[in-house]
Amino acid sequence: GAVVSQHPSWVICKSGTSVKIECRSLDFQATTMFWYRQFPKQSLMLMATSNEGSKATYEQGVEKDKFLINHASLTLSTLTVTSAHPEDSSFYICSAPRSGRDQETQYFGPGTRLLVL
Amino acid sequence: GENVEQHPSTLSVQEGDSAVIKCTYSDSASNYFPWYKQELGKRPQLIIDIRSNVGEKKDQRIAVTLNKTAKHFSLHITETQPEDSAVYFCAANGVGQLTFGSGTQLTVLP
């Protein structure tokens, strides 16, 4: 089946630093990838849609200058959390839809747990 | 945009009993409704999905029903087992992106 990888799986950083998270589709091409954030015991909240070859689309309330998204190729999207603060600590998950004959199934990466001290 | 509501937030059942989780959606344009199972600290795993041209779909112990008119869909798990314990999310896909429900913590008691 389709596989999406994410790196790193966890990261601890000091407040004020920037953190880059990579999302790769390993055996299919993805012109679109999605970035979610999940706080403990809460649902997945869509942050932005990453589009290959064009600017990302951000959901309301998500700062585009803080969460930089670059869809560098058909298999790679990166999310950079700039000047991270403790409130940015969360579980970040990407997903990529793989078009099938009748549907678009989304495959999730394993997630990146970010802890900002 | 799409709004998905999910109930209940927690559900405890005895092993062997059935579990039902219900979701409603707001956007009549939504046409794809997946259900995900998420274990603690792990990625959501697709367990079953249904499209709007189908009213019911079954895969072994898991079934999903969809009522387009009422805009609600449900997950049914029969003969529950302890390994079914997890958080379950419904989702609706209207314009190429998923909107998730708030999740249901299912606990299957041995």
pLDDT in tens, B31-77: 999 999 999 889 999 999 998 888 999 999 999 999 999 999 999 99
Nearest-by-Cβ selection for A109 from B43, B46, B102:
B43
Contact residues, A window 70-99, toward B, CB-based 8 Å cutoff = 91, 93, 95, 97
Q: What value does the mean pLDDT take over residues A4-21?
A: 96
Q: What value does the mean pLDDT take over residues A16-21?
A: 97
Q: What percent of chain A has pLDDT over 70?
A: 95
Contact residues, A window 15-34, toward B, CB-based 8 Å cutoff = 32, 34
Residue A115 contacts residue A20 (beta carbons within 8 Å): no
Residue type for position B20:
V
Could you give the residue ranges of the DSSP H alpha helices within A2-116?
Answer: none
pLDDT score of A1: 63
pLDDT score of A106: 86
CA distance B98 to A51: 16
